[in-house]
Chains A and B, each alone.
Chain A
């Protein structure tokens, strides 16, 4: 699904003395199959932005279009489109509530009005996608699972609704490095299998560089930079000005450059290693 955001602005507590502009004139297009990372320091408006993408927040001005239809219009088509945009919030495991894992995953499809059998089928499929064995864990209480498993179950709960667009707000927060990789690789795999459009809110620039096809850098509610990770992280001063960390690769090559080592600017970790090896072999 193609998502287009047009002149989006959002004002919190409009008309009150403490009114704040959380988003100001946001414009971008996400094509089907894009993996877009939204980054920015705390309070830059990331979460506010993604909550607009499935209609949880209504823009003060501007529009969010899904396949050309305004998702906030009264059109019945808009309601259907909104339901195809799934959102996984921060710490999604805290929203689990059912007595068994399978029932919790079935909650979304049930609200969509599918039959019991169909819901079950979708739930089993979604659990397989996230790597939670429905045979083994289906009847277990979600509260008995480990943190990482709970998070997978929560993601399955959103996937079971068959979204065309999947929004993930810091899906790896609080996980160990392996858990982080596992979740991101899983997301990439599901994206390719189901041809999803992904929005990922993240604080980890190494993840962004490795997985995203495009990056949007927010600062105080406006887009500061937008483009491929290579373009965005080429502009180191701007990235730092937006309050972000540098990924390990550019950070290290930048350091070597400043110490007089002549090497090309690099993006990913592996690239950086290769470049260093190349430069030092020549010497």
Chain B
């Protein structure tokens, strides 16, 4: 089993201007970028968005092959989107066969959606590639902390997220161990009908759940032993600070958004 190969939180550790930015800046920038993708009405706009993303990736020093790796899992969704959009197009058909009708508008829309989807995935992966998962949750906590006034527990939510992230590799390891143990007892996780495969998961899932509860119990105990009692009055070891780079990034993003909005009115093709 290649369980070890799965990487969530695919942080790529190099030094770059993008890595140095404050996590909050990057989260807000990516949010703005994702929104901008939905504002775009023309391929010209996508050209601007793609160019912007290309420059960001270049600056982040993350190899392109690494960025495109995140693309594989969504390939199926992408193909499905294209097919559905091509088939559901309205307008003058250029090709008709049985109940299938392909129109120029359909192809245009499919291309449009596909590019949007690709940019959405690449755009958000720039964030996860250049930001450590822990800084990410810290950033989210900071961004949402004003909401604690209206009763949203920003700190607790962020803590839950960091714990979840922290325990993904642990549970992976646990899964790997249990799988090995059960396959030594003759369990077969790969062959058989769907029903047999589902049944074969039971000897894996039951111990895994037991392990998850055991680990959670231990962790809760360890946190309490160190007097953890939620976010109130808690200080942190590494305070987040905005630097000069963050101001530059903010200006760049505003200019980018302006360009995107302008591109709504000037369509080249």
Contacts and interface: CB of A to CB of B under 8 A. Distances in A.
Interface stretch (B19-27, B184-192, B243-251): B184-192
Contact of A95 (B181, B186, B188, B202): B181
Contact of B181 (A89, A110, A111): A89
A94 B185 contact: no
B16 interface: no
A95 B183 contact: no
Contact of A56 (B183, B207, B211): B183
Interface string B201-219: 0110011001100000000
A163 B206 CA distance: 25
B140 to A, nearest CB: 30
A6 to B, nearest CB: 22
A157 interface: yes
A87 B184 contact: yes
A97 B202 contact: yes
A143 B187 CA distance: 21
Interface residues of A, number: 22
Contacts of B207: 94-97
A92 B184 CA distance: 12
B17 interface: no
Contacts of A143: 210
Interface string B125-157: 000000000000000000000000000000000
B183 A161 contact: no
B210 A94 contact: yes
Nearest to B180: A56
Nearest to B184: A87
B177 interface: yes
Residue from A94, A110, A157, A158 with most neighbouring chain B CB atoms (10 Å): A94
A96 B202 CA distance: 11
B150 to A, nearest CB: 43
B182 interface: yes
Contact of B184 (A54, A96, A110): A54
Nearest to A97: B206
Nearest to B1: A56
Nearest to A90: B177
Nearest to A107: B185
B210 A161 contact: no
Contacts of A40: none
B211 A94 contact: yes
Nearest to A12: B4
Interface in B76-130: none
A51 interface: yes
Given A56-B184, A108-B185, A89 B203 contact: no
B178 A51 contact: no
Nearest to B187: A111
B266 to A, nearest CB: 47
A229 interface: no
B211 to A, nearest CB: 6
A196 B177 CA distance: 25
A86 B181 CA distance: 10
A83 interface: yes
Interface in B1-41: 4
Interface string B157-181: 0000000000000000000011011
A267 B136 CA distance: 57
B202 A83 contact: no
Nearest to A167: B184
Contacts of B185: 107-108, 111, 157-158, 161
B186 A112 contact: yes
Contacts of B182: 95, 107
Contact of A83 (B180, B186, B203, B211): B186
A233 to B, nearest CB: 31
B188 to A, nearest CB: 7
Contacts of B181: 87, 89, 92, 95
Contacts of A94: 177-178, 207, 210-211
Contacts of A110: 186
Contacts of B183: 56
A48 to B, nearest CB: 12
Nearest to B188: A111
Contacts of B180: 51, 56, 89
24 contacts: A13-B4, A51-B180, A54-B184, A56-B183, A56-B184, A87-B181, A89-B177, A89-B184, A92-B181, A94-B207, A94-B211, A95-B178, A95-B181, A96-B207, A97-B202, A97-B207, A107-B182, A110-B186, A111-B185, A111-B187, A112-B186, A143-B210, A158-B184, A161-B185
Interface of B: 4, 177-178, 180-188, 202-203, 206-207, 210-211
Given A95-B182, A107-B203, A161-B185, 11 more contacts: A56-B180, A89-B181, A92-B181, A94-B178, A94-B207, A94-B211, A95-B181, A95-B207, A107-B186, A143-B210, A158-B185
A-B pairs, 6 with minimum CB distance: A111-B186, A97-B206, A108-B185, A95-B181, A87-B184, A89-B181
